[in-house]
């Protein structure tokens, strides 16, 4: 059966502090299937392109500096309504507003260092998945 997908990134703060395993456990327990996964260290041009929609915002430079500060884990996750369901599992961008039981409630340390990224639409999920993965790296 066809399932929707989303693109997730475990951000540098979470990788650096050893939260990759616990975050993957939460993702699995919530019923997402990992269809592609790789560890990468983004360059400044790559991170700027990935977060292009935020260019010009006051937090943009800090965001790019943070996202290039260390390795990240990128993955494609399968689930029905994957984009919406994964954003629900993530919780609010600002961890102080994130609900109990969400990834950001558990692992975010600030609005910038909020542990994990999730695509915000099916269109962006497709773009972001193509940004990181070729066809032979995708197991679905
Ligand atoms: P993401 O796209 O990483 O999943 P999001 O969709 O919840 O997060 P966006 O509005 O797309 O939030 O912002 C992208 C990222 O930019 C945030 O996850 C956060 O790391 C950073 N960011 C957003 N707003 C702020 C802010 N006010 N101050 C600092 N960093 C911010
Ligand atoms: Mg976003």
Phi, psi values for residue 29, rounded to 5°? -65, -30
Q: With a cut of 70, list the residues of the chain below it in pLDDT.
A: 1-2
Q: Tell me the ligand closest to 6's alpha carbon.
A: 1
Q: Going edge to edge, which strands form the sheet with 4-10?
A: 33-40, 72-79, 4-10, 116-118
User: Ligand 1 pocket, 57 CB below 6 A?
Assistant: no
- Ordered by start, the domain boundaries in the chain are 5-134
Q: What is residue 23's predicted lDDT score, i.e. its pLDDT?
A: 98
How many C-beta atoms lie closer than 10 Å to residue 92's C-beta?
16
Ligand 1 pocket mutation, candidates 9, 59, 102, 131, criterion most atoms within 8 A of CB: 59
Q: Is the CB of 95 under 6 A from ligand 1?
A: no
- State the CATH class of domain 5-134: alpha beta
Whether 126 lines ligand 1, by a CB cut-off of 6 Å, is no
């Amino acid at each position: 059966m066809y399932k929707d997908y989303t693109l997730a990134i475990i951000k540098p703060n979470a990788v650096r502090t050893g939260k990759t395993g616990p975050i993957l456990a939460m993702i699995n327990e919530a019923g997402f299937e990992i269809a592609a996964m790789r560890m990468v260290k983004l360059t400044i041009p790559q991170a700027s392109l990935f977060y292009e929609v935020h260019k010009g915002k006051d937090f943009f430079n800090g965001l790019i500096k943070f996202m290039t500060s260390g390795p990240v884990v990128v993955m494609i996750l399968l689930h029905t309504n994957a984009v919406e369901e994964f954003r629900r599992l993530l919780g609010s961008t600002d961890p102080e507003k994130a609900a109990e039981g969400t990834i950001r409630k558990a692992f975010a340390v600030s609005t910038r260092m909020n542990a994990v990224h999730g695509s915000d639409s099916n269109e962006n999920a497709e773009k972001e998945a193509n940004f990181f993965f070729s066809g032979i790296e995708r197991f679905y």
